[in-house]
Structure 1
Amino acid sequence: MADPTSYRPKPGEIPDSPGVYRFRDEHRRVIYVGKAKSLRQRLNNYFQDLAGLHPRTRTMVTTAASVEWTVVTTEVEALQLEYTWIQEYDPRFNVKYRDDKSYPSLAVTMNEEFPRVQVMRGPKKKGVRYFGPYGQAWAIRETVDLMLRVFPVRTCSAGVFKRSAQIGRPCLLGYIGKCSAPCVGRISPEDHRQLAEEFCDFMAGHTGTQLRRLEREMQQAAEEMEYEKAARVRDDIDALRRAMEKNAVVLTDATDADLIAVAEDELEAAVQIFHVRGGRVRGQRGWVTDKVEEIATPELVEHALQQLYGEERGDAEGSSGSGGVPKEVLVPALPDPVEPIAQWLAGRRGSHVSLRIPQRGDKRALMDTVRRNAEQALVLHKTKRASDLTTRSRALEEIAEALDLDSAPLRIECFDISHLQGDDVVASMVVFEDGLARKSEYRRFQIKSFAGQDDVRAMHEVISRRFRRYLLEKQKTGEWPEEELGGELETGPAPAAPAPAHPAPAGAGADGQSGQPAAGAARDEDGRPRKFAYPPQLVVVDGGQPQVAAARAALDELGIDDVAICGLAKRLEEVWIPGESDPVVLPRTSEGLYLLQRVRDEAHRFAIRYQRGKRGKRLRSSPLDAVQGLGETRKKALLKHFGSVKKLRAATVEEISQCPGIGRKTAETVAAVLAGSAPSAPAVNTATGEIVEEE
């Protein structure tokens, strides 16, 4: 691992101008390519104190052994050169997009004497018109089959075309009228090319022109009493309209646009792109990337634009297809700065390109649809990744190696604390076994011993409660001698577990959708499951060094020393171990880090869900809810005017009616309801007249 000071350029060597820089490792391989408006300012950021760098950046600069740069004139030139070098060197620390599957496109080989319509995958070729990409190849073939009736363009391979020309007999499509048979000279090369151009115009969204032309031909044939010809043209129009129906209309106007949406988390990002031509979705595409470097949404958008349009050309061969640069590009966030990327897109298209964020209307609604597709793609990618047995095994092995465990942690429990400014403090416990969530083992805790924003104290309490219950379960079965449990555990028996058919009580509940016990779980004598019978090999807490120390202290107080503990801090994804002053930094591509993050996020989700439910019940229990005809606006006005329900209850009808929006009749109703909901008077013994105190 190299020391960045060993290859840091001398002061004054780095120019203060736009350019592109490359970091190389000891083997002279390019590991990172970046661009900058000012090379001097950007590179100086990499050579500051290592403790102040992000872990990903720290790993990159310590892996590198040298840095070099190239000066350019403008930021647009820097953008173009950066993309070229990323494609050439494939640096390991740059964002790399990969297709989540191989998408086929409809291609028309305009670079041949007799253009051919076919389904193509892979890199694009010069002189070929592309439309798509499409989700399935069969969808392309169905559309082409309908359109060949009107535009009988050649679809056969070069071998079939050559053989038909040699024998002087066309293929089957030529006999049934779905090919103009240029192989046997039924149509001239010029007329066949005209057919191919009309086919491309229709696919590019210029549908109205072709339909109007066919309607004129049908009317003319009918006027000339050529009814058979008119019927054929009528059927051609119906075929084209059926082909158009295969692409849903999403915008009322003839919009040409690409819509790009991003769904991301700390480790990965999914990009979805909808190609809209002539107001219709003509294609869809998706990418997934590992976030090897620290990168925000605007930078992800910039990289996606480079990936999408990097190889496009602004000439007529590529601009009309759905893969070319359209007039409008809609994104979730604008790159910073936006001017260079806008100029670059305009250069690729050959005219102005509108790059913006949709704010309202149909385009905003369609952007929401694209975003949902991106979120679904990210979820599907993570699901496939988590369901892979080999990947899960590697993740557990990496965790065991990083934390210096004797064996892979087959059972992992993660704890998280949730509250709203110190109110409704709750905690969650989620369980992962063999790298998969075990929702029947989830538990939730209500922190009642204190209130406030003290996550460390709450973590100590919840860990103590969970493992105290575990020791009590062992005491029941005789696995742990009673004299070794300590006096603190003898305060009373553990609460009985509820029957599986009923929801779990607050303090030890499970997810509402997964509350049933797992098959084979440890059970009491009466057949009910023992909730804390199994100890984990690893406890993960959501937090850094303070939370980890609190969890370790709780286990030490109970005499448990065979359970490993670690914490995962959200900000930098650092793994903290008890007693260590420095965290363990797992690589961003580590499957172990991905599993720890998934466990942590699940615990956070479960805690937030429980906390919101408790808060919602508390907010819905206002005495004003019983006042008929009193809406939320006037409730808020009353509480704002008086400050609290207690002061409102003590107010007179006249004082209540002085609140804006509250009339005399409503004030009387509010006063009557609050008087009826007041705390009940103390009970009086009728025999002695003494007040009976509540226990």
Structure 2
Amino acid sequence: MADPSSYRPQPGQIPDSPGVYRFRDEHRRVIYVGKAKSLRQRLANYFQDLANLHPRTRTMVTTAASVEWTVVSTEVEALQLEYSWIKEYDPRFNVKYRDDKSYPYLAVTMNEEFPRVQVMRGQKKKGVRYFGPYGHAWAIRDTVDLLLRVFPVRTCSAGVFKNAARTGRPCLLGYIGKCSAPCVGRVSPDEHRELAEEFCDFMAGRTGTYIRRLEKDMTAAAEEMEYERAARLRDDIEALRKAMEKSAVVLADATDADLIALAEDELEAAVQIFHVRGGRVRGQRGWVTDKVEAVTSGDLVEHALQQLYGEESGDAVPKEVLVPALPDPVEPIQTWLTERRGSNVSLRIPQRGDKKALMETVHRNALQALALHKTKRASDLTTRSRALEEIAEALDLDSAPLRIECYDISHLQGDDVVASMVVFEDGLARKSEYRRFQIKGFEGQDDVRSMHEVITRRFKRYLAAQEKSAEWSDTELDDDEGPVESRLTEDDGRPKKFAYPPQLVVVDGGQPQVAAARRALDELGIDDIAVCGLAKRLEEVWVPGEDDPVVLPRTSEGLYLLQRVRDEAHRFAITYQRSKRAKRFKAGPLDDVPGLGDARKQALIKHFGSVKRLRSATIDQICEVPGIGRKTAETILAAFAQAAPAAPAVNTATGEILEDEEQTPAGATDAPTGGGPVTAGTPEERRGQEP
């Protein structure tokens, strides 16, 4: 690992002007390329105390062995040079988008004497008009089959074309009227090129003018009693309309725009792009990238724009590009897009209307693409095995942790404190083992005490199950009661409730939470279960009794698995907390206040933070909420005064007041499910399920 101070430039060497810089490793390989409005200010950020750098940036500067730069005149030139060098050197620490699949395009080879319509993939060629990308090649062929009736452009390969020209006989499409047969001279090269240009105009969205022209010709042919020609034109119009129906109208004003949406987490980002031409979605594509450097959403958008339009011809850049976040600064990238198009390009964030609604649709596609990518990565057996081995090595475990339990605490300003326990076995989520807890031993925002309580309660039940197992093993059962194992296991043979211990306990948090979990286990006399914590801010792995965290490599599958476990625990906890908050809000005394609608209820809760604080407020304090008068405030306090506290749950058989038990949803399965509220099951059905 190199010391950045060993290759730091001397003061005054770095110019205070726009430019592009390159970090190289000890083998002179370029590992990072960046641009800056001021090289001096930007590079100074890299040569500061390593503790102040983002972990990924810290890894980059310690991997590098030298830095060099090139001065340019403007930020736009810096943008262009940065893109060229990224394409040339393929630096390992730069954002590199990967297509989630190879998309097919509808291509028209306008660079040939007789342009050809075909399906093309891969690198784009100069002089070829591209439309798409499409989700499937068959969608292109269906569209072309409809359009060839109206625009009989050549679709055959060069070999078939030459053979037809040599023999003087066209192919089958020429005989059935779906090719103008330029190979045998039925049309001249100029006439065939005109057909190809009309085909391109139609595909580019200029459909209305052409259809109106055909309708006018059809009417004229009917008036002149050329009924066969009128019928043929009628069928042509119908074919064109069918082709248009394959692309949904999403923007009524016939807008040409590209919409770019992001879905990201700490490690990866997914980009989805909708190409809208003439108000219709003409193509869709998506990328996934590893975030190997510290980047913002604006940076990801800038890299996506570079990759999307860097190799494209100018006509591929639309008038309008809608994005979720703007690069900082936005002027260079907007100037670059304008130069590529040859006219003004609007780069902005949609705020309202159809464009904002369509952007939300694109964002949902990005979320699904990221989830699918993670699912594919997690389902690979080799990858999961490597992840477990890396975790075992990093935490110095005797064997791979085949069962991992992760715990997270969730609350709203100290109210409705809940906790979640999620289980991963062999690197996969075991949703039927999920548990959720209510924390009522104390009030306030004390995640450390909450974590101690949850771990204590969970493993007390584990010890109780072990003791019960020992008692039953020493007791002779009647023949009709079955073996001891049936008393300790479910129907599928798995241990009941908390009877199955993990090899590793993961908590969401840093040193304090890890120490609380370890202390709870020590108090119970459990010393054969490893504990670690994963802190969100820097993705550091903390272990008990250590002052420094364990830093797993950025590309580590072990780190990726720990993050998945932690994120799932967080999701499960916050879903339960929100459901409890919603139930409390709906069942509260505010519902009984006449004339108090949802808007003013929400305003009250937002102002005071909780119903509990609202209950203890004075009339004057309630009147401070916008829209609440003194009479309404008095009615609210009267409603609170009349509301009786809920009675505790009682066991009807024994008369005992029931304690707050761990709750899990009923009907659990291990199949992936979507998000949603969760509901508690009966004591016999307390088997967790992802909501």
Fold in common (TM above 0.5): yes
Structure 2 length-normalised TM = 0.86
CA shift in 2, pair 1:167/1:671, >3 Å: closer
Q: Does residue 549 in structure 1 map to residue 541 in structure 2?
A: no
In structure 2, the residue matched to 1:109 is: 109
In structure 1, the residue matched to 2:63 is: 63
> Match for 2:465: what amino acid?
E
Partner secondary structure for residue 286 of structure 1: strand
Q: Deviation digits for residues 180-213 of structure 1, max 9, x if unmatched? A: 0111111111100011001001101111221122
In structure 1, the residue matched to 2:682 is: none
The answer to which of 37-46 and 440-449 deviates more is 440-449
> Match for 2:547: what amino acid?
S
Q: Does residue 660 in structure 1 map to residue 640 in structure 2?
A: no
Q: Deviation digits for residues 551-588 of structure 1, max 9, x if unmatched? A: 11222222222111111000111111112211122222
> Match for 2:248: what amino acid?
A
Structure 2 residue corresponding to 1:457, chosen from 449, 469, 484? 449
Q: Does residue 576 in structure 1 map to residue 549 in structure 2?
A: no
In structure 1, the residue matched to 2:218 is: 218
Q: Deviation digits for residues 447-491 of structure 1, max 9, x if unmatched? A: 222211111122122112222221221111229999xxxxxxxxx
Q: Deviation digits for residues 338-396 of structure 1, max 9, x if unmatched? A: 00000000011111100001111111111111111111111111111111212211111
In 1, Cα distance between the equivalents of 2:43 and 2:313? 33
In 2, Cα distance between the equivalents of 1:479 and 1:563? 24
Structure 2 residue corresponding to 1:519, chosen from 478, 483, 492? 492
In 2, Cα distance between the equivalents of 1:672 and 1:40? 66
In 1, Cα distance between the equivalents of 2:617 and 2:568? 42
Partner secondary structure for residue 212 of structure 1: helix
In structure 1, the residue matched to 2:381 is: 389
In 1, Cα distance between the equivalents of 2:331 and 2:590? 55
Partner secondary structure for residue 97 of structure 2: strand
In structure 2, the residue matched to 1:495 is: none
Which consecutive residues of structure 2, in runs of 5 or more, have no partner in the other structure?
Answer: 475-486, 620-627, 647-691
In 1, Cα distance between the equivalents of 2:638 and 2:242? 67
2:267–2:291 Cα contact (<8 Å) kept? yes
Q: Does residue 559 in structure 1 map to residue 551 in structure 2?
A: no
In 2, Cα distance between the equivalents of 1:120 and 1:299? 31
Which consecutive residues of structure 1, in runs of 5 or more, have no partner in the other structure?
Answer: 483-498, 501-515, 523-528, 650-658, 681-695
In 2, Cα distance between the equivalents of 1:637 and 1:541? 35
Structure 1 residue corresponding to 2:565, chosen from 593, 599, 606? 599
In structure 2, the residue matched to 1:406 is: 398
Q: Does residue 353 in structure 1 map to residue 345 in structure 2?
A: yes
Partner secondary structure for residue 270 of structure 2: strand
The answer to which of 588-597 and 260-269 deviates more is 588-597
1:430–1:442 Cα contact (<8 Å) kept? yes
Q: Deviation digits for residues 430-459 of structure 1, max 9, x if unmatched? A: 110011111111112222222111111221
Structure 1 length-normalised TM = 0.85
CA shift in 2, pair 1:296/1:160, >3 Å: same
1:170–1:183 Cα contact (<8 Å) kept? yes
In 1, Cα distance between the equivalents of 2:472 and 2:86? 61
The answer to which of 588-597 and 607-616 deviates more is 607-616
In structure 2, the residue matched to 1:448 is: 440
CA shift in 2, pair 1:219/1:2, >3 Å: same
Structure 1 residue corresponding to 2:371, chosen from 349, 364, 379? 379
2:24–2:31 Cα contact (<8 Å) kept? yes
| 1:452-491 alignment runs, 5 A limit | 452-478=444-470
Structure 1 residue corresponding to 2:424, chosen from 432, 435, 438? 432
2:615–2:637 Cα contact (<8 Å) kept? no
Query: RMSD in angstroms over aligned alpha carbons?
Result: 2.7
In 2, Cα distance between the equivalents of 1:63 and 1:137? 43
In structure 2, the residue matched to 1:20 is: 20
> Match for 2:585: what amino acid?
L
How far 1:630 sits from its partner (Å)?
4.7
1:440–1:518 Cα contact (<8 Å) kept? no
The answer to which of 210-219 and 289-298 deviates more is 210-219
1:18–1:38 Cα contact (<8 Å) kept? yes
In 1, Cα distance between the equivalents of 2:403 and 2:546? 23
In 1, Cα distance between the equivalents of 2:244 and 2:556? 46
CA shift in 2, pair 1:108/1:438, >3 Å: same
In structure 2, the residue matched to 1:39 is: 39
In 2, Cα distance between the equivalents of 1:624 and 1:77? 61
Q: Does residue 205 in structure 1 map to residue 205 in structure 2?
A: yes
How far 1:313 sits from its partner (Å)?
2.2
In structure 1, the residue matched to 2:282 is: 282
In structure 1, the residue matched to 2:235 is: 235
CA shift in 2, pair 1:637/1:60, >3 Å: closer
How far 1:214 sits from its partner (Å)?
1.4
In 1, Cα distance between the equivalents of 2:267 and 2:420? 23
> Match for 1:207: what amino acid?
T
In 1, Cα distance between the equivalents of 2:442 and 2:146? 72
In structure 2, the residue matched to 1:611 is: 577
| Count of equivalent residues | 623
In structure 2, the residue matched to 1:140 is: 140
In structure 2, the residue matched to 1:526 is: none
How far 1:629 sits from its partner (Å)?
5.5
In 1, Cα distance between the equivalents of 2:219 and 2:366? 47
In 1, Cα distance between the equivalents of 2:359 and 2:245? 21
Q: Does residue 50 in structure 1 map to residue 50 in structure 2?
A: yes
Partner secondary structure for residue 35 of structure 1: strand
CA shift in 2, pair 1:74/1:535, >3 Å: same
CA shift in 2, pair 1:171/1:286, >3 Å: same
CA shift in 2, pair 1:171/1:634, >3 Å: closer
Q: Deviation digits for residues 131-171 of structure 1, max 9, x if unmatched? A: 00011110110000000001000000001001111111000
CA shift in 2, pair 1:404/1:210, >3 Å: same
In 1, Cα distance between the equivalents of 2:40 and 2:637? 71
1:474–1:480 Cα contact (<8 Å) kept? no
Partner secondary structure for residue 306 of structure 2: helix
CA shift in 2, pair 1:226/1:404, >3 Å: same
The answer to which of 208-217 and 344-353 deviates more is 208-217
1:634–1:662 Cα contact (<8 Å) kept? no
In structure 2, the residue matched to 1:540 is: 506
CA shift in 2, pair 1:634/1:190, >3 Å: closer
In 1, Cα distance between the equivalents of 2:440 and 2:588? 22
1:34–1:82 Cα contact (<8 Å) kept? yes
Structure 2 residue corresponding to 1:416, chosen from 388, 403, 408? 408
In structure 2, the residue matched to 1:188 is: 188
In structure 2, the residue matched to 1:82 is: 82
CA shift in 2, pair 1:16/1:679, >3 Å: closer
In 1, Cα distance between the equivalents of 2:355 and 2:490? 47
1:400–1:409 Cα contact (<8 Å) kept? yes
In 2, Cα distance between the equivalents of 1:647 and 1:358? 41
> Match for 1:327: what amino acid?
K
In 2, Cα distance between the equivalents of 1:630 and 1:44? 57
CA shift in 2, pair 1:563/1:163, >3 Å: same
CA shift in 2, pair 1:676/1:456, >3 Å: closer
In 2, Cα distance between the equivalents of 1:45 and 1:571? 20
In 1, Cα distance between the equivalents of 2:636 and 2:45? 64
